[in-house]
């Protein structure tokens, strides 16, 4: 063979090889990637089975689940400011309002108008802010009291979240006797699930009655949020949760999820309980991580009785603004497979979601629709739910 | 030779104004500055108009893209005259053509979708009707924008396909505007059909109860895609959009341009693009399962099948950015080898660059785009900034002849003749050498794929992009 033909055939070989390489890679992608064989080779989840102890029972008192009273006003304000990515501290809602209108608010302006009054005169502080804020009558708040009974009968009380409106939360605290419990330092800790207005901005209300209560927040809190803790008059020991699992007492742990959330908030912490002979109970603020992510994380990491998902309480953040997306139907369709026996949902779960859960035959615990809660489809303000005996 | 038988983009040649990398550097700098300025004005949630709500901004950037494609590729800049295009300063051309595109976009969105379809056909295209039925203002606008946006996503695959794969057939011979109008109407019709079989069910289950009398609910793809969300379709349709442009730019229509028979070549190109896109789509989905673990239906965000499908489309768009950049600003590097080798190198280089863009985006974008860190914020779509950037590339290269780094000069007769020859390539012919190479290449390609899927779980376990 002459050198020339050798060169030509080598050049042809390279052309063929270059074409084949790209074609072969795409062929592999197309024929194998989404096939059953591709999934057979994936490893099964290794469960860590972290033993965080056992408790006898958990009782939740819904102090308030009505975070706001008029959905159109709330979402209208967000809309006017530029949508779901706008920083919540600039929306010009109390207590960080400055009277300059939509999207012109700032933490510094807002707090400077009321700082001297926190936390001893929250009534006056809220009155001042109401004059500056958009839709000042709209805020409510989310907060619940959690009473945990240890195996030996010892009782522990905790607060999850502290609501939004100073006035509304103060009234709700009084209605459920939380003010006195705080004064008596009966409540062992306040867990802030996440930095959102309706869970966190009512902080001075708790501080008014007990400003040394141990406080837990997610490590994704922004500077404004951390400053607000100081400006609210907090004098106690702040724990910034920075581990996936933080044990609290036997059978109770704080779980941390790193998720970006609407209106510039990052991360949520939720509570998990292992109830003797029953199984796992999950309690959340908004559950922005998603209830099944929450459950799946517990499945992969924790050990609990009967290896069973037992109950849920809290906002499940599905259709908080009565909006909808087909992915929420994915949850409605698949939640049944997880086998929860008691579903106590409210707040940002959305009425439509509760309705669809009930239509699907899920064990949703109904409420009484008192104290401005809008529907008996779910646990309303003042309602209680018990997990375990 | 009569230049009118060539489109404007075919008839011009872009030459660098300065030698070396200076033109590319200057254009890159100006494009990024313009990107950031316009981002702040129109999209940024901290900026002036804040269209990133997110769906309004999403709709706008996708419709801009499709109108640019229509204007430059399908209408060949009609009604603007060739003499005007040749003589006007690029800055003026860019401004005029962009303003005309924006006007056309507003007319289409407001006039056609909202007013005509939304008033006489399908209620969800018209926010006012949704508001009147009790949905909040904000979500009414978001839902309508989502539907209108999806229409553009489908058209941004089908419209260029007609030019790139089908070579404008069977209307390649008729003049403008008849050709443009015909192809826009035909691709609009096909987009409509695809919209009905992919997104209409998605929209119908947004409302309570499921609108079973007007759409198929639950949708037919539920079992296969493990979700009722239309994001499954966004995945493969975005892959189609990206593959069309790869085929047109860095692949130079190889290998389907080897087919001599016109109809066969066009059909093979059109369906070849879809098959390649499906392969890419399934791979990108599986790749996420390898890195993050298998999806859990009904959960949200990172672990949810609907988000993973969406992210397939997002990853594909991350590949389009370096693809177009290489073609527009790096002279389609490399060009010195044979076409198959050039194509192979460009494919690998752009895929690696896509990974780089992806990592940079997720590591840094929250620092300057007004967004938040994290992969799966349900209201954040990396496609918005990426398409916004691509739109600026297109304005620069199609409307402004690559100003200031490049300028347009008319092609010589010989160069024009080459354009026609280009349609059927003759540089690769079937020989035993090629056949041998092809077999070896296929095996290496499969081995490469296997290596990647073994590497991905290890990357997932050892690297974190977002701390
Ligand atoms: Fe909430
Ligand atoms: Fe929230």
Does A178 touch chain B if contact means CB atoms closer than 8 Å?
no
The whole-angstrom separation of Cα A103 and Cα B197 is: 40
**Residue B125 DSSP label:** G
Chain-chain contact of A20 with B442 (C-beta, under 8 angstroms): yes
CA-nearest of B131, B283, B19 to A72 is B131
Q: How far is B384 from chain A (nearest CA, A)?
A: 14
Boundary residue ending a domain (A78, A104, A138): A138
Q: Are residues A261 and A153 in the same domain?
A: yes
Structure tokens at A52: 């965080």
Q: Are residues A155 and A273 in the same domain?
A: yes
Give contacts of A291 with chain B, Cβ < 8 Å. Answer: 299
Q: Are residues A79 and A192 in the same domain?
A: no
CA-nearest of A189, A192, A132, A197 to A168 is A197
Q: Ligand 1 centroid to A182 CA: how many Å?
A: 23
Q: Are residues A326 and A364 in the same domain?
A: yes
CA A309, A313, A318, A323 torsion-angle sign: positive
Give contacts of B305 with chain A, Cβ < 8 Å. Answer: 330
Q: Are residues A203 and A339 in the same domain?
A: yes
Going by pLDDT thresholds of 50, 70 and 90, the confidence category of residue B2 is low
A26 lies in some domain? no
Contacts 24+ apart (CB under 8 A), B327-332: B327/B249, B327/B250, B328/B393, B328/B396, B328/B397, B328/B402, B329/B23, B329/B24, B329/B27, B329/B28, B329/B402, B329/B405, B330/B24, B332/B249, B332/B250, B332/B252
Q: How far is B53 from chain A (nearest CA, A)?
A: 4
What is the span of the domain harbouring residue A114? Answer: 69-138
- Tokens 């802010």 correspond to A129
Question: Does residue A115 have a pLDDT over 60?
Answer: yes
Does B285 touch chain A if contact means CB atoms closer than 8 Å?
yes
The whole-angstrom separation of Cα B366 and Cα B363 is: 8
Percent of chain B with pLDDT over 90: 87
Closest-approach residue (CA) in chain A for B300: A290
User: In this predicted structure, which of A53-67, A162-176, A312-326 has the lowest mean pLDDT?
Assistant: A312-326
Question: Does residue B1 have a pLDDT over 70?
Answer: no
Q: Are residues A123 and A188 in the same domain?
A: no
- Tokens 């050498």 correspond to B433
pLDDT on residue A43: 82
Give contacts of A71 with chain B, Cβ < 8 Å. Answer: 136
The whole-angstrom separation of Cα B88 and Cα B92 is: 7
pLDDT for B259-302, tens place per residue? Answer: 999 999 999 999 999 999 999 999 999 999 999 999 999 998 89
pLDDT for B65-113, tens place per residue? Answer: 999 999 999 999 999 999 999 999 999 999 999 999 999 999 999 999 9
pLDDT for B107-150, tens place per residue? Answer: 999 999 999 999 999 999 999 999 999 898 999 999 999 999 99
Q: Are residues A134 and A204 in the same domain?
A: no
pLDDT for A27-69, tens place per residue? Answer: 999 999 999 999 998 888 789 999 999 999 999 999 999 999 9
> Across the interface, which of A18, A78, A330 has its CB nearest the CB of B297?
A330
Tell me the average pLDDT of chain A.
Answer: 94
Parallel, antiparallel, or unpaired: how do β-strands A302-303 and A155-160 relate?
A: unpaired
- Tokens 């280009």 correspond to B422
The whole-angstrom separation of Cα B451 and Cα B445 is: 10
Interior CA angle at B418 toward B412 and B423, to 5°? 145
Which residues 346-375 of A are in CB contact (within 8 Å) with B?
352, 355-356
CA-nearest of B334, B392, B389 to B357 is B389
Q: Are residues A147 and A198 in the same domain?
A: yes
In B153-288, at which residue ranges do the beta strands (DSSP E only) sit?
A: none
The whole-angstrom separation of Cα A240 and Cα B97 is: 54
Collapsing DSSP to helix, strand or coil, B457 comes out as: helix
Question: Does residue A1 have a pLDDT over 70?
Answer: no
φ/ψ of B410, rounded to 5, equals -65, 145
> Across the interface, which of A20, A31, A85 has its CB nearest the CB of B441?
A20
Instruction: Output the CA–CA distances (angstroms, integers) from residue B257 to A39, A380, B428, in the order listed.
Output: 36, 67, 10
Which residues 98-137 of B are in CB contact (within 8 Å) with A?
135-137
**Rounded-to-10 torsion of CA B94, B99, B100, B101:** 90
Question: Does residue A341 have a pLDDT over 90?
Answer: yes
* Element holding B347 (H helix, E strand): helix B339-368
> Across the interface, which of A20, A327, A356 has its CB nearest the CB of B227?
A327
The whole-angstrom separation of Cα A72 and Cα A78 is: 10
The answer to whether A283 and A244 have CB atoms below 8 angstroms apart is no
Does A300 touch chain B if contact means CB atoms closer than 8 Å?
no
Chain A interface test: which of B281, B442, B452, B461 (most A C-beta within 10 Å): B442
Q: Are residues A132 and A246 in the same domain?
A: no
Boundary residue ending a domain (A120, A138, A156): A138
Alpha helix (H) ranges present in B165-208?
178-198, 200-204
Does A219 touch chain B if contact means CB atoms closer than 8 Å?
no
- The CATH number of whichever domain residue A250 belongs to comes to 3.60.15.10
Which residues 242-281 of A are in CB contact (within 8 Å) with B?
258-262, 264, 266
Tell me the average pLDDT of chain B.
Answer: 94
CA-nearest of B379, B337, B116 to A85 is B379
What is the arithmetic mean of pLDDT over A298-323? 92
pLDDT on residue A377: 87
What is the arithmetic mean of pLDDT over B355-382? 91
The number of distinct structural domains making up chain A is 2
The whole-angstrom separation of Cα B162 and Cα B186 is: 9
Question: Does residue A389 have a pLDDT over 90?
Answer: no
Does B300 touch chain A if contact means CB atoms closer than 8 Å?
yes
Chain-chain contact of B205 with A38 (C-beta, under 8 angstroms): no
What is the arithmetic mean of pLDDT over A233-250? 96
Q: Ligand 1 centroid to A119 CA: how many Å?
A: 23
Chain-chain contact of A266 with B306 (C-beta, under 8 angstroms): no
Instruction: Output the CA–CA distances (angstroms, integers) from residue A41 to A35, A74, A207, A223, B456, in the order listed.
Output: 11, 48, 54, 45, 13
Q: Are residues A292 and A246 in the same domain?
A: yes
Domains in chain B: boundaries: 14-217+382-413, 219-380
Q: Is the pTM of this model over 0.95?
A: no
ipTM score of complex: 0.94
Residues around the ion ligand 2 (C-beta < 5 A) = A 196, 286
Q: Are residues A206 and A305 in the same domain?
A: yes
Chain-chain contact of B285 with A326 (C-beta, under 8 angstroms): no
pLDDT for B190-233, tens place per residue? Answer: 999 999 999 999 999 999 999 999 999 999 999 999 999 999 99
The whole-angstrom separation of Cα B105 and Cα B84 is: 23
Q: Ligand 2 centroid to B135 CA: how many Å?
A: 21
CA-nearest of A319, A301, A299 to A309 is A299
Boundary residue ending a domain (A112, A138, A164): A138
> Across the interface, which of B230, B282, B345 has its CB nearest the CB of A326?
B230
Does B458 touch chain A if contact means CB atoms closer than 8 Å?
no
> Across the interface, which of A296, A333, A334 has its CB nearest the CB of B303?
A296
What is the arithmetic mean of pLDDT over B37-57? 94
Q: How far is B23 from chain A (nearest CA, A)?
A: 31
Q: Ligand 2 centroid to B77 CA: how many Å?
A: 49
pLDDT on residue B4: 65
Chain-chain contact of B448 with A24 (C-beta, under 8 angstroms): yes
Does A17 touch chain B if contact means CB atoms closer than 8 Å?
yes
The whole-angstrom separation of Cα B250 and Cα B324 is: 8
pLDDT on residue B464: 84
Q: Which strands sit side by side in the sheet containing A252-261, from one edge to the other?
A: A245-249, A252-261, A265-275, A279-284, A309-315, A342-346
CA-nearest of A238, A225, A219 to A89 is A225
In chain A, at which residue ranges do the beta strands (DSSP E only) sit?
A: 50-51, 57-64, 143-149, 155-160, 187-191, 215-218, 238-241, 245-249, 252-261, 265-275, 279-284, 302-303, 309-315, 342-346, 384-388
Q: How far is A47 from chain B (nearest CA, A)?
A: 14
* Ligand lying closest to the C-alpha of residue A218: 2
Structure tokens at B3: 């230049």
CA-nearest of A107, A122, A120, A234 to A169 is A122
Question: Does residue A127 have a pLDDT over 60?
Answer: yes
- Between B427 and A245, where is the model more confident? A245
The answer to whether B255 and B330 have CB atoms below 8 angstroms apart is no
Does A222 touch chain B if contact means CB atoms closer than 8 Å?
no
The whole-angstrom separation of Cα A104 and Cα A133 is: 11
Parallel, antiparallel, or unpaired: how do β-strands A238-241 and A215-218 relate?
A: parallel
Give contacts of A85 with chain B, Cβ < 8 Å. Answer: 45, 52-54, 370-372, 379-380
> Across the interface, which of B46, B218, B301 has its CB nearest the CB of A259?
B301
> What are A344's strand-pairing partners?
A313
The whole-angstrom separation of Cα B251 and Cα B268 is: 15
Q: Are residues A98 and A159 in the same domain?
A: no
The whole-angstrom separation of Cα B438 and Cα A107 is: 65
pLDDT on residue B187: 94
Q: Ligand 1 centroid to A280 CA: how many Å?
A: 23
Give contacts of A219 with chain B, Cβ < 8 Å. Answer: none
């Amino acid at each position: 063979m002459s050198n020339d033909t050798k060169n030509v055939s080598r050049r042809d070989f390279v052309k063929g090889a270059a074409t084949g390489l790209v074609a072969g890679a795409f062929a592999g992608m197309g024929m194998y990637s989404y096939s059953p064989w591709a999934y057979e080779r994936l490893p099964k989840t290794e469960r860590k089975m972290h033993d965080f102890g056992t408790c006898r029972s958990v009782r939740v008192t819904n102090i308030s689940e009505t975070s706001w009273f008029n959905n159109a006003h709330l979402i209208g304000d967000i809309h006017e400011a530029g949508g779901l990515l706008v920083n919540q501290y600039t929306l010009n809602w109390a207590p960080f309002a400055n009277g300059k209108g939509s999207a012109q608010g700032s933490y510094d302006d807002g707090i400077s108008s009321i700082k001297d009054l926190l936390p001893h005169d929250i009534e006056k502080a809220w009155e001042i802010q109401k004059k500056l804020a958009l839709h000042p009558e709209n805020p409510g708040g989310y907060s619940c009291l959690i009473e945990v009974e240890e195996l030996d009968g010892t009782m522990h009380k905790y607060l999850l979240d502290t609501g939004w409106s100073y006035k509304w939360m103060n009234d709700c605290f009084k209605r459920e006797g939380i003010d006195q419990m705080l004064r008596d330092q009966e409540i062992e800790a306040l867990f802030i699930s996440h930095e959102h207005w309706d869970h966190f901005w009512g902080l001075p209300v708790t501080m008014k009655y007990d400003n040394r209560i141990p406080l837990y927040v997610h490590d994704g809190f922004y500077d404004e949020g951390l400053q607000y803790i100081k400006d609210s008059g907090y004098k106690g020991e702040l724990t910034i949760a920075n581990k996936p699992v933080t044990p609290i007492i036997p059978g109770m742990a704080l779980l941390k999820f790193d998720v970006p959330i609407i209106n510039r908030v990052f991360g949520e912490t939720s509570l998990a309980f292992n109830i003797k002979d029953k199984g796992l109970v999950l309690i959340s603020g908004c559950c922005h991580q998603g209830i099944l992510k929450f459950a799946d994380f517990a499945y992969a990491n924790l050990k609990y009785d009967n290896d069973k998902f037992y109950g849920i309480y809290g906002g499940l953040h599905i259709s908080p603004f009565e909006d909808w997306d087909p992915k929420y139907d994915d949850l409605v369709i698949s939640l049944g497979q997880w086998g929860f026996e008691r579903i106590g949902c409210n707040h940002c779960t959305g009425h439509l979601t509760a309705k669809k859960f009930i239509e699907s035959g899920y064990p949703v615990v109904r409420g009484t629709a008192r104290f401005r809660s809008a529907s008996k489809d779910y646990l309303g303000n003042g309602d209680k739910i018990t997990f375990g005996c | 030779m009569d230049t009118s038988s060539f489109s404007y983009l075919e008839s011009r040649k872009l030459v660098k104004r300065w030698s070396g990398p200076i033109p590319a550097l200057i254009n890159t700098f100006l494009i990024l500055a313009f990107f950031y300025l316009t981002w702040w004005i129109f999209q940024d949630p901290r900026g002036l108009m804040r269209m990133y709500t997110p769906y309004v901004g999403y709709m706008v950037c996708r419709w801009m893209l499709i109108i640019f494609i229509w204007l430059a590729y399908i209408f060949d800049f009609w009604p603007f005259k060739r003499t005007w295009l040749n003589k006007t300063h690029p800055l003026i051309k860019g401004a005029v053509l962009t303003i005309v595109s924006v006007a056309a976009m507003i007319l289409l969105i407001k006039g056609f979708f909202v007013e005509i379809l939304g008033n006489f056909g399908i209620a969800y295209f018209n926010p006012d009707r949704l508001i009147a039925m009790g949905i909040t203002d904000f979500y009414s606008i978001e839902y309508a924008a989502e539907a209108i946006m999806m229409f553009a996503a489908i058209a941004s695959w089908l419209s260029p396909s007609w030019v790139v794969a089908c070579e404008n057939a069977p209307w390649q011979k008729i003049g403008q505007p008849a050709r443009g109008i015909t192809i826009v109407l035909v691709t609009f019709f096909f987009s409509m059909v695809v919209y009905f079989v992919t997104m209409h069910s998605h929209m119908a289950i947004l409302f309570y109860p499921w609108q079973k009398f007007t759409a198929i609910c639950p949708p037919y793809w539920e079992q296969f895609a493990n979700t009722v969300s239309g994001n499954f379709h966004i995945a493969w349709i975005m892959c189609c959009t990206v593959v069309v442009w790869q085929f047109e730019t860095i692949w130079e229509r190889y290998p389907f341009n080897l087919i001599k028979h016109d109809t066969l070549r066009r059909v093979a190109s059109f369906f070849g693009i879809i098959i390649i896109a499906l392969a890419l789509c399934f791979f990108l989905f599986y790749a996420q399962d390898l890195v993050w673990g298998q999806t859990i239906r009904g959960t949200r965000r990172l672990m949810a099948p609907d988000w993973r499908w969406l992210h397939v489309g997002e990853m594909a768009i991350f590949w389009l950015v370096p693809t177009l950049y290489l073609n527009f600003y790096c002279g389609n590097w490399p060009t010195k080898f044979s076409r198959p080798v050039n194509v192979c190198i460009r494919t690998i280089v752009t895929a690696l660059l896509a990974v780089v863009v992806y990592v940079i985006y997720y590591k840094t974008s929250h620092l300057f785009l007004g967004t938040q860190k994290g992969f799966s914020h349900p209201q954040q779509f990396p496609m918005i900034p990426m398409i916004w950037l691509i739109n600026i590339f297109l304005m620069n290269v199609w409307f402004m002849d690559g100003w200031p780094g490049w300028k347009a000069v008319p092609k010589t007769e010989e160069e024009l003749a080459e354009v026609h020859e280009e349609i059927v390539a003759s540089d690769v012919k079937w020989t035993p050498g090629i056949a041998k190479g092809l077999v070896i290449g296929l095996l290496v390609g499969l081995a490469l794929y296997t290596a990647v899927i073994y590497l991905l779980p290890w990357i997932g376990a050892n690297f974190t992009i977002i701390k």
